[in-house]
Chain A
Amino acid sequence: MSFVEFVEGPLFILASAIFVLGALWRVIGIIRIGRKKDISPPKGSAVMGFVVGNLRHFFPRGIFARRTALHIIAGYGFHLALLVLVLFAAPHIAFIQDRLINVNLPEMPRWGFIVAAEIAFAGLIMLWVRRISDPVMRLISDWDDHIGTWLTFLVMLSGCFALQESQSFLRGLHMLLVDVWLIYFPFSRLMHAFTFFLSRGNTGATYGRKGMNL
C-alpha cells in the first residue's frame, strides 16, 4: 500500500470515525450536563429565544460592528471561503464522489477556487497575526488556539501546494494533514464549529424567556 493509498484509505477512515464520534460525544456530553428547570413564570418563549440568539450573534450590534470591523471581515472571509473550498473545489468534489457519497455538487471554475483560496488564506493569516500582536489576544490565547490555527493553515497550504496535481506525494501530504486535523478536531477548540449554536442558543433561550430584546 502506497503512502497516498494509506492516508486516503485506512487512516482517513479512522480519522473520520474519530472526528464524527468524538464530536458527537462532546456535544452530547455538554448537553447531558443538563440545567435546572426554570420555574419562574416566563415572559416570552425560550425556544424562540434559542433561534433568535443563534441568528442575532451572526453579527454584532451597530457600534460594535464598527469597532471590530477587521475581525468581522477576516473572520467571515476565512470561514465562508473555507466552506466554499471544502465543498466546491473540483478535486474535493472528485474525492467526495469517489470515497464518500455520490452527490452532484456544482464544481467551481478554477478562478473561483483560486479567489476563494486567497480570501481564506488572507482571513486566516489576519486572524492569527491579530492573535500574536495584541496584548489582550496574547493574554487569553493558549496552545490550543495556535495549534488549531496552524493545523488548519497547514491543511490549506498543503492543499494549495498540491494544486499542480503532478506529485502524488503532495496529495498524500495534504491528506495526511487532513487526517491529523480530523483527529485533533473533537478534542480541541476547533469544536466551536459545533458548539457555537449551543452557547448562542442558551443565552438566547434565557433572554427569550425573560422577554428581552436580545
Chain B
Amino acid sequence: MSANSDIAVAKFLEHTDAEAASFFEACVHCGECAEACQFYLSTGDPKYTPTYKLRPMERAYKRDKAPFSSLKKMLGLAPSPVTEEELREWEPLVYDSCNMCARCTLVCPMGIDIAGTIRKMREGYAAAGIVPEGLQRAAEFVKKTSSPMGITIKALTAQIKHQEEATGIKIEVDKQGADYMAIFSSMEIMGYPEVLGAYAKLFKKAGLTWTISSVAYEATNTGVQIGSGPLAKEIVTRVVDAAEALEVKHVISPECGHAYGAIRWAGPNMMGRQFKFEVVHIIELLDQLRREGRIPAGGKDTRRMTLHDPCQIIRRGGLLKEPRRLLDESCSDFVEMKGAGITNYCCGGGGGVSANPRAEELKTAAFSRKVEQLNGVKDLEAVVVPCGNCRAVFEDGLDAYDMDLEVIGLSELVAETLDESPEKQG
C-alpha cells in the first residue's frame, strides 16, 4: 500500500456506481471479449483480454464496496488490497492497449461496457498520477494552450487565412449570434486544414451563419483520454463559456471520435447543468442539410472508396446510416469493407493510444487488422475516414505497412462533390 494506490483505490470506488458494480458482478470470465479485442487478436497475448484490464478496479470494488465484502473480509475471503506495483503493472493495459472501442461489449453475453468502465478506471490512474508520459505531456499542453498539440490562436488564424484564400469565402471568427459555432480537433487544424474550407463552402451553400471562437476552438478532450474528470471539465467549460458568450444556437462537434461524447453526453454532467445551445455532430448536421436539400450533391467522385467506421461515432455514437447516405451521393464506386458498420475494427489509435508514443508498436500491430480489411477490397483507391485522429493513425499505419491509399475526410468529400450551380441554391 502506498499513498498513490490509496488515491487510485479511492477514485476506483468513487467511480464504481451501480452500473460499474453490475458489470463487475456479472462477468462470468467467459473470455469472449478477447475475441473482439484487436490488441489480443493482433498479438495473441492473453493479458490483452478486455475484462482482465479491469482487474485492479474490480478487486478494489470486491474488497471494499461489493455486497458481502465486509463479511468476506472478516472471513479472510476478500481479495487482497490493490498495490501500487499492481497498478503500474496494469498501466499499459489500461492506457496503451485499450482504444475504448467497445467492440468487446458487442460480444459480451452479459453486455458489459468495458470501454466505459476503463474510462472510469483511468480516473483512478490519473488521480494517482500513474499516466503514460505522452498523455501527461498532452495534458500539460492543454492547460497552457487549450490544445494537446499546443496549437495557439496564431496558428489557427494562419490556417483560416489560407483556407479563405483557397476558397474565396470569408470565415468569421468570434461572430456574435451566429447559428453555429465550430470546434476542431488539433489534428484537423494542423494536418487537415482543408476541413475549414469545406465547412465554409458547405455552410455558405446551406445559408447558415457560423463562426469559430478565438478562445475555444479545440474539441480534443485530453481530460477524457487520460481519465481526468477535472481536466475534462475544464476543457468542456472553455467551449461552453465561449459558445454561450457568443450566443450561438449550436456547437458543431467535428469529425473526431471522443470529442462528441465528451461535450454532448459527458459535458452537461460534468458542468452540472444543461447548455444554452445544442451540440450536433458534423455528420449529423451534413446529413440533415442534405436531406433538407440545402447542400445538394453534384458530380460524384469516381474513385473506388470504402468507409472506416470510427468507434466513437458509429458504434458508440449511433451514427451508422448518416455517413453512408452522404457517401452514396458523393461517390459512384462505394464498397463496404468486410466487417463494416457496427462491428468494424478500430483504427488502433483511439482512446488516447495515438497520443501515447509508448504504445506506438502496439498501435501499429493493431492496425494490421485494418490492413487486412483494406486489402480485402479489390482495387481500392481511397478510404473515407470521418475522424481526425483515425486519419492520422491511418496515415501512419498505411506508411508502416507500405500501402498506397488516399485517406480523406467526409466533410471534404461532401464539399468537393457539392452541386455548386447557383440556380439550385435556396
- A, B co-complexed: yes
Q: Give me the interface of A with B, judged by CB distance under 8 Å.
A: 22, 25-26, 28-36, 38-41, 43, 53-54, 56-58, 60-64, 67-68, 71, 75, 131, 134-142, 145, 186-187, 189, 191-192, 195-196, 198-204, 206-207, 210-214
- Closest CB in chain B relative to A65 CB, distance in Å: 9
Q: Please measure, in the bound complex, the distance between the C-alpha atom of A32 and the C-alpha atom of B208, giving whole angstroms.
A: 48
Query: Chain A residues near B109 (CB, 8 Å)?
Result: 57-58, 60, 75, 196
* Residue contact B18 to A34, C-beta cutoff 8 Å: yes
Task: Classify chain B's interface size.
Answer: 35 or more
Distance between B331 CB and nearest chain A CB, rounded to angstroms: 24
Interface-located stretch among B128-136, B138-146, B312-320: B312-320
Task: Assess whether B268 is in contact with A192, with CB atoms less than 8 Å apart.
Answer: no
A63 touches B339 (CB 8 A): yes
Considering the chains assembled together, what is the distance between the CA atoms of A104 and B265 in angstroms? 51
Could you say which of B28-36, B174-182, B402-410 contacts chain A? B28-36
* Segment touching A, from B64-72, B82-90, B299-307, B393-401: B64-72
B52 interface hit (Cβ, 8 Å): yes
Question: Which chain B residues lie closer than 8 Å to A200 at the CB level?
Answer: 26, 110-111
Question: Measured between alpha carbons, how far is A199 from B116 in the docked complex, in Å?
Answer: 12
Using known A-B contacts A57-B110, A198-B26, A212-B318, determine if residue A67 contacts B17 with beta carbons closer than 8 Å. no
Q: How many inter-chain residue pairs (CB < 8 Å) link A and B?
A: 178
Q: A40-B274, A199-B23 given as contacts; is B17 within 8 A of A34 (CB)?
A: yes
Interface membership of B108, Cβ < 8 A? yes
Q: Residue of A at shortest CB range from B65?
A: A33
Judged by a CB distance under 8 angstroms, whether B16 is at the interface is yes
CB–CB B108/A57 < 8 A: yes
Contact present for B47 and A33 (CB under 8 Å)? no
Q: Is the Cβ of B26 less than 8 Å from the Cβ of A199?
A: yes
Q: Complex Cα distance A194/B106, Å? A: 20
- The CA of A211 and the CA of B66, in the complex, are separated in Å by 31
CB pair A71–B30 under 8 Å, yes or no, is: yes
Contact assessment for B31 and A195 in the assembled complex, using a CB-CB cutoff below 8 Å: no
CB atoms of B22 and A30 under 8 A apart:
yes
> How far is it, in angstroms, between the C-alpha of A53 and the C-alpha of B106 when the chains are bound?
10
Q: Kindly report which residue of chain A lies nearest to residue B106, judged by CB atoms.
A: A61
Are B30 and A26 interface neighbours, CB within 8 A?
A: no
Which residues on B sit within 8 Å (CB–CB) of A22? Answer: 68
Q: Which residues of chain B are near A40, meaning CB under 8 Å? A: 264-269, 274
- Using known A-B contacts A39-B268, A140-B49, A187-B68, determine if residue A32 contacts B18 with beta carbons closer than 8 Å: yes
Residue pairs across A and B with Cβ atoms less than 8 A apart, 13 shown, are A30-B25, A33-B21, A38-B265, A60-B106, A60-B107, A64-B106, A198-B22, A199-B22, A199-B110, A199-B111, A203-B112, A211-B318, A212-B317
**Are B34 and A30 in contact (CB-based, < 8 A)?**
no
Residues from chain A with a CB closer than 8 A to the CB of B111 are 53-54, 56-57, 196, 199-204
B318-A210 in contact (CB<8A) = yes
